[in-house]
Amino acid sequence: MGKRMIAGPARVRQALIRMCLGIGLLGTASSAWCLEARIEGVEGDVADNIRQYLDGLDATALSRSRIESGVQRRTREAMRVYGYYSPQIVHKLDENDPPDYVELAIEPGPRVTIETLEFRLEGDAADDPPFEQALDAFPLEIGDPLVHAPYDRLRGRLANLSLERGYFDWRFVDRRMEVRPYAESARLYLHLDSGPRYRFGDVTFAGSHIEEQRLRNLLPFAPGDPYLAGELASFNQRLGQTNWFNTITVRPRLEESASLVLPERESGFWNTLELEGDDARVSQDSRDTTTEPRLSEDALAAASSLNQPKRSTVPIDVRVTPADRHQFEIGLGYATDVGPRTRFSWEQPWINRYGHGLDHELFLSAPEQRFTGTYQMPLDDPLRDSYRFQYGFRNLDNEDTQSLQATIEAARRWEFDNDWVQTLFLRSTFEDFTQAGDEQQVLLVYPGISWSRTRTRNPTFPTWGDRQRLSFEVSDGLWGSGADFVRVTGETQWIRMVGNDNRFVGRAGLGTIETSEFNEIPPSLRFFTGGDRSVRGYSYESLAPRNEQGELLGGQQLLTASIEYQRRVTGDWWGATFVDTGDAFDDWGPTDLNTGAGLGVRWVSPVGPVRFDIAHPFDDDDSWRIHFAIGPEF
């Protein structure tokens, strides 16, 4: 097919960083000089390109005459890539040795224009849309001034597409840029023969300790599908997300054809091949009696391609090494809500050939101590479908709440194509608690379902992200639960950047418990708010209905909202201003919400974001509260 094309940009040499330094030490001085170009006659991209070419000229290492010839040669090379092939260049070096600058008076002369654009695709790529799109995107037309860069970019783009899309026998049958300065014209030719498009072949695994079928279930392609390099990258990423492996290599196996070209022998006077006249004969003095036929590599390649069946599939080799079976991690942090906190985790990413995993975590802080264990059982699609069995113990002593809790849970998890995760669970909780002087023991058995989604860019300090979660839980005495209730919770959080220096964070949360036996509901299911991550200006979980003695009871409903604006001050330091509002209450339609506002500082440290806020609650004119926390927002 014929199509327009761009003249290849002459290779712009990498410009050296221009430095002119003078250093004096103990009465001696040494200098390094750069050659500055002062240009008249051309400007814009052409002048900039000339300066880049001359930046690579080391004036301190060359004689004056060689500097002058280098200036002429490099200036002409820099102008050719923009179609100026017949410039008149007058140069003048300054009198210093080495020279500091060169003055260039340039008459660019006529500019070469494009006379012919002939691009052709052959092979399976002729019907592959990305190749056609690459040709259509070529920016030059017949009659346009010649510029080399678009031609070189198109050539590179076609080569990359060929490799990315499985045309492993591709070659340029013709790639020419014919420039005729005397006619002020250029002819551009590019003829790609892609050959057949390869398809995925068999996938073989080596080094895996996991059942092979589970790995095959992660494949984003099937044998026989058209080859795409991006699918291999996706498969590599999926294998990594399982946490089963320490190293992963996914590669196509491209068979290297055995060379049919005879190796070159050392030639001497005794075995010289004479090619004088029409006959070719070996010298009679030859000590080499070998009579093997010898062909050139090109001739042999052409001959061997005749009637040769092409292998149209490419096998995929996957090599992995197992991840450490036991992994330990210790985390330290601090927040004004809970004070110093420590987390110790013991992870077993795989405990058998089915990829089952077992994790344990111990969390310690002043008001709360928690130990949990989770057994993960991946299903056919290990990243999307799994069973989870969890158990845990929790002790809480905060404000007017004392609670000792034991929980077991069985859950089924699904992850959908839109990144939403659905979890169906059955939970049993025994809680021995005292809330505002009311002592209770309750055993609850309740099923539930939740939907959640988290999306983020740069998880440590997101420049974009959002998180949603919605949960329903039901408890009833019909199946032996100690209290009847329906509990619904929902939360959303958003992070957006405007430009590079403005960041907005918004969040909202709500919850409700419908029950006639609220005194039987344990503190872990009641609603409290206030603190670093809810309504700043108030202490941790200090906002909730209270009894006649002023002790916290917890609420049946919850509503919170927050908006925060952050502005980059310098580097990783940000300033912040915010307004938070919310409360926990017993009846919908509260007459008043607790609101706080303040200022803060954010530092994106190597160990995670550090947040420091000073907040003022609106219902107490004399009160101020400091909030300090370390850790990601999601």
Each residue's pLDDT tens digit, 21-42: 333 333 333 344 567 889 999 9
User: 401-410, pLDDT tens digit by residue?
Assistant: 999 999 999 9
SS (H, E, C) 92-107: EECCCCCCCEEEEEEE
The pLDDT of 219-226, averaged and rounded, is: 94
Query: Residue 488: what pLDDT?
Result: 98
Q: Which of 53-57, 288-292, 375-379, 528-532 has the lowest mean pLDDT?
A: 288-292
The pLDDT of 624-631, averaged and rounded, is: 89
Amino acid at site 45: D
Q: Has residue 310 got a pLDDT over 90?
A: no
What band does 266 get if pLDDT is binned at 50, 70 and 90? very low
- CA 276, CA 353: separation in Å to the nearest integer? 71
Q: Which of 7-11, 522-526, 593-597 has the lowest mean pLDDT?
A: 7-11
Q: What angle do CA 481, 485, 488 make, to 5 degrees?
A: 125
Q: Whole-model pTM?
A: 0.75
Which DSSP helix (H) or strand (E) runs through 327?
strand 327-335
- CA 264, CA 384: separation in Å to the nearest integer? 57
- Domain 113-193 adopts which CATH fold? Ubiquitin-like (UB roll) (3.10.20)
561, β-bridge pairs: 508, 581
Query: Residue 41: what pLDDT?
Result: 92
Q: Which residue, chain included where needed, has tokens 């290849």?
A: 8
Q: Has residue 396 got a pLDDT over 50?
A: yes
Q: What is the CATH number of domain 199-252?
A: 3.10.20.310
Q: Has residue 15 got a pLDDT over 80?
A: no
Asked if 507 and 536 count as a contact pair (C-beta separation under 8 A), the reply is: no
- CA 3, CA 157: separation in Å to the nearest integer? 16
Q: Which of 48-62, 83-97, 259-273, 440-454 has the lowest mean pLDDT?
A: 259-273
374, β-bridge pairs: 359, 390
Query: Residue 56: what pLDDT?
Result: 74
Q: Has residue 566 got a pLDDT over 90?
A: yes
Asked if 563 and 506 count as a contact pair (C-beta separation under 8 A), the reply is: yes
Q: What is the CATH number of domain 36-107?
A: 3.10.20.310
Q: Has residue 605 got a pLDDT over 80?
A: yes
The pLDDT of 477-504, averaged and rounded, is: 96
In the three-class reduction of DSSP (H, G, I as helix; E, B as strand; rest coil), residue 162 is classed as helix
Give the list of residues 6+ apart from residue 25 with CB closer than 8 angstroms, or none.
none
- CA-wise closest residue to 7 among 124, 151, 129, 117: 151
Here the tokens at position 103 are 């003055």
Domain boundaries defined on the chain: 36-107, 113-193, 199-252, 327-630
Cβ-defined contacts of 385-390 (< 8 Å, 24+): 385/413, 385/414, 385/415, 386/412, 386/413, 387/411, 387/412, 387/413, 388/412, 388/413
- CA 18, CA 15: separation in Å to the nearest integer? 8
The pLDDT of 223-247, averaged and rounded, is: 95
Here the tokens at position 573 are 């330091």
User: 58-94, pLDDT tens digit by residue?
Assistant: 777 788 888 899 899 999 999 999 999 999 999 998 8
Query: Residue 108: what pLDDT?
Result: 93
Amino acid at site 201: G
Q: Which residue has the higher pLDDT, 256 or 201?
A: 201
Query: Residue 273: what pLDDT?
Result: 33
Query: Residue 343: what pLDDT?
Result: 94
Give the list of residues 6+ apart from residue 457 with CB closer than 8 angstroms, or none.
463, 464, 465
Query: Residue 274: what pLDDT?
Result: 35
What band does 545 get if pLDDT is binned at 50, 70 and 90? very high
Query: Residue 136: what pLDDT?
Result: 94
The pLDDT of 538-547, averaged and rounded, is: 93
Q: Has residue 503 got a pLDDT over 60?
A: yes
Query: Residue 94: what pLDDT?
Result: 86
Q: 551 — phi, psi (to 5°)?
A: -90, 145
In the three-class reduction of DSSP (H, G, I as helix; E, B as strand; rest coil), residue 434 is classed as strand
Query: Residue 30: what pLDDT?
Result: 37
Q: Has residue 379 got a pLDDT over 80?
A: yes
* Mean pLDDT over the full length of the chain: 85
What band does 257 get if pLDDT is binned at 50, 70 and 90? very low
What band does 507 get if pLDDT is binned at 50, 70 and 90? very high
Query: Residue 57: what pLDDT?
Result: 80
Q: Which residue has the higher pLDDT, 321 or 457?
A: 321
Query: Residue 391: what pLDDT?
Result: 97
Q: Has residue 260 got a pLDDT over 50?
A: no
170, β-bridge pairs: none
Q: Has residue 308 got a pLDDT over 60?
A: no
CB 415: neighbour CB atoms within 10 A? 16
Q: Has residue 186 got a pLDDT over 50?
A: yes
Q: 181 — phi, psi (to 5°)?
A: -60, -35
Rg (CA), the chain: 37
36-107 and 113-193: identical CATH topology: yes
Q: What is the CATH number of domain 327-630?
A: 2.40.160.50
The pLDDT of 184-204, averaged and rounded, is: 95
The pLDDT of 30-58, averaged and rounded, is: 81
